[in-house]
Amino acid sequence: MLVIPGRGGSFCDGPTRREFLRVGSVGLFGLGLPHFLAMQKAQAASTPDLAAKFAGVRGFGAAKHVVLLFLQGGPSHLDIWDPKPKAPSNVRGEFNPIKTKVPGIQLSETMPLLADQVDKCTLIRSMSYTPKGLFNHTAAIYQMLTGYPPDKVAPSGQLEPPSPADFPTAGSHISKMLPPDEPVLPFVELTRPLQESSVIGKGGAAGFLGKAYDPYRLYQDPNQSVNLDDLTLRREISEQRLKDRYTLLKGLNQSMPELEKAVGQHALGEYYEKAFDLVLSGKARDAFDLDKESSAMRDRYGRTTFGQGALLARRLVEAGTRFVQLNWPAVANGNPEVDAWDTHASNFKPLRNLHCPKLDRALSALLEDMHQRGLLEETLVVAVGEFGRSPRLGVSTSGNTNAPDGRDHWPYCYTAVIAGAGIPGGQLYGASDETGSAPKDKPVHPNDLLATVYFTLGINPEMEVLNHLEQPRELVKGHPVLDLWS
């Protein structure tokens, strides 16, 4: 049997990727990659009419790909996207606003590079939701990425570990409904898992869809040497030998129809071919090879984990990956003096010296690069966290202790950046009040943002899906923000 070798780690509650991606003389009764591809096609064929309601609506189906920059930890909207220079000092903080390329739009001084790329994106300054009870990172992440509030929230605000009964993360739904036509990875998650304290991966898996739709997880630092064994043939297996084995399998497939029928196989040749192509073409493997980029391009994105992750996201989109999720490479409630957005203990120094320089360089490079390559028109780019930070400094809004210059969790008003898929750039959508505490107009719930993601891919966000109990559920409890295209 040929096995695509990989890391020894396992999924949260099931087999390892090494056990899952098997190519060649797979056991006839096992779930090899060809069977997986066949299952995907069968399930996609049974998907309800995705365009049922929105066909012909501007923006519907405008995107082929999505890049989600998920800033887990909750970045401060006031200190990055939505400065309030006229607010009291205990609200406006230490940073000054700066002009951008678009008259009338200001950013914080922490984002000078993005200021020159604002014409390519829209700032949604009215993201907002009211949590039920204490709502910390894990619960907010789960809602943001699945479109559903969590069923159980502990007094700490944390959730239980991932479960097969969870609602699927958006990328999993998308990889099921819109499987790629080419031998590429449909859904890739970079560069670390979603995490708050010991709860790892909640809101980041396929849940009741099944493991076939989990993301391909590259939890490595792309600023260092990346191990691509998962997509590489074993050294002792030559390419010709693999092709010969495929030819043999194809012959067996054609000559043993009764056996095929007995074990439920139906003309799997097409899927064997795709599975072999995934390995032999090298397309997926090459997408992760940043050595193919110039030093100047790598420098433009920033020689950081997040910066090189953003460059990988662009390369994956070019290769045909449908959904790329780049998580901020720090635990959601980590130390802000190291790399976390959770700035209870200290807000301004970490933003000035660590977080914002990395975000500014990576996001501005991604927008500029994708625009120049013509990728932005067919790709939706979203940068958002699970919530913002409290307008007033030093107060407690989530039960946490905050330093005098710290900001607490604030889901009631924050900012998302959205670009591509025909959305006009250089605009503001919605506005916050004078202190950034609440939307002044056009509030956008996280579920509405997620519905917009589905909408741009040509998926009806109001369609129903069946959960693990075969019960119908709405894909997402939200509505697309159609005014973004006006």
pLDDT at 278: 55
Co-location of 362 and 474 in the same domain? yes
- pLDDT score, position 423: 98
- pLDDT value of residue 485: 96
Residues 149 and 220 in one domain: yes
The per-residue pLDDT of the chain, averaged, comes to 83
Rounded-to-integer distance, Cα 458 and Cα 404, Å: 47
Confirm whether 481 is domain-assigned.
yes
Residue 26 is predicted with a pLDDT of: 33
364 and 244 in a single domain? The answer is no
**Which of 267, 282, 297 is a domain's end point?**
282
**Domain contains 36:** no
Residue 151, pLDDT score: 75
Stronger pLDDT, 5 or 108, i.e. the higher one: 108
Rounded Cα gap, residues 15 and 161, in angstroms: 17
pLDDT tens for each residue of 70-106: 999 999 999 999 999 999 999 999 999 999 999 999 9
**Which of 45-54, 152-161, 372-381 is predicted with the least confidence, judged by mean pLDDT?**
45-54
Pair 57, 146 in one domain: yes
Please write the tens of the pLDDT for every residue from 267-278: 344 444 555 555
Phi first, then psi: give them for residue 418, nearest 5 degrees.
-135, 140
Q: Taking residues 109-119, what's their average pLDDT? A: 98
At what angle are helices 33-45 and 269-280 packed, to 10 degrees? 120
Boundary (domain end) residue, out of 258, 282, 306 = 282
The tens digit of pLDDT for each residue in 410-454 reads 999 999 999 999 999 999 999 999 999 999 999 999 999 999 999
Angle at 477 between CA 136 and CA 146, to 5 degrees: 50
Do strands 187-190 and 323-327 pair parallel, antiparallel, or not at all (unpaired)? parallel
pTM of the model: 0.84
What is the CATH classification number for the domain harbouring 371? 3.40.720.10
Cβ atoms within 10 A of the Cβ of 229, count? 13
Residue-range definition of the domain harbouring residue 6: 1-30+233-282
Question: pLDDT tens across 350-360, in order?
Answer: 999 999 999 99
251 and 363: one domain?
A: no
Task: For residues 362 and 356, give the distance between their C-alpha atoms in angstroms, rounded to a whole number.
Answer: 10
Same domain (yes/no): 4, 124:
no
Q: Using pLDDT thresholds of 50, 70 and 90, give the confidence band for residue 399.
A: confident
- Structure token digits, residue 279: 């390995």
In a domain, 354, yes or no: yes
Is 237:2 a contact under the CB 8 Å cutoff? yes
- In this structure, are 331 and 299 located in the same domain? yes
**Weakest mean pLDDT among 112-121, 151-160, 183-192, 281-290:** 151-160
Encoding tokens for residue 121?
Answer: 């994106």
Which positions ≥6 away from 64 have C-beta within 8 Å? 322, 378, 379, 457
141 assigned to some structural domain: yes
Q: What pLDDT digit, counting tens, does each position of 313-328 carry?
A: 999 999 999 999 999 9
State the pLDDT confidence band at 21, using cuts at 50, 70 and 90. Answer: very low
**Helices and strands: H and E segment counts in the chain:** 15, 20
Cα–Cα distance measured from residue 307 to residue 330, given in angstroms and rounded to the nearest whole number: 14
CA 13 from chain center: how many Å? 21
409 falls within a domain: yes
Residue 45 lies in a domain: no
Count of all residues that appear for the chain in the document: 486
12 in a domain, yes or no?
yes
Average pLDDT for 392-396: 94
Statement to judge: residues 299 and 423 lie in one domain: yes
Q: Tell me, yes or no, whether 255 and 307 share the same domain.
A: no
Q: Are residues 163 and 296 in the same domain?
A: yes
Please indicate, yes or no, if residue 102 is contained in any of the structural domains: yes
- Residue 64 and residue 134 in one domain: yes
Count of structural domains within the chain = 2
Summarize the confidence of residues 448-467 as an average pLDDT: 95
Q: Are residues 322 and 432 in the same domain?
A: yes
Pairing state between β 187-190 and 427-429: unpaired
Contacts 24+ apart (CB under 8 A), 460-463: 460/48, 460/49, 460/50, 460/51, 460/52, 460/53, 460/54, 462/52, 462/53, 463/48, 463/50, 463/52
Which runs of E-coded beta strand occur in 34-176?
65-70, 97-99, 106-108, 122-127
Beta bridge partners of residue 188, listed in sequence order: 216, 324
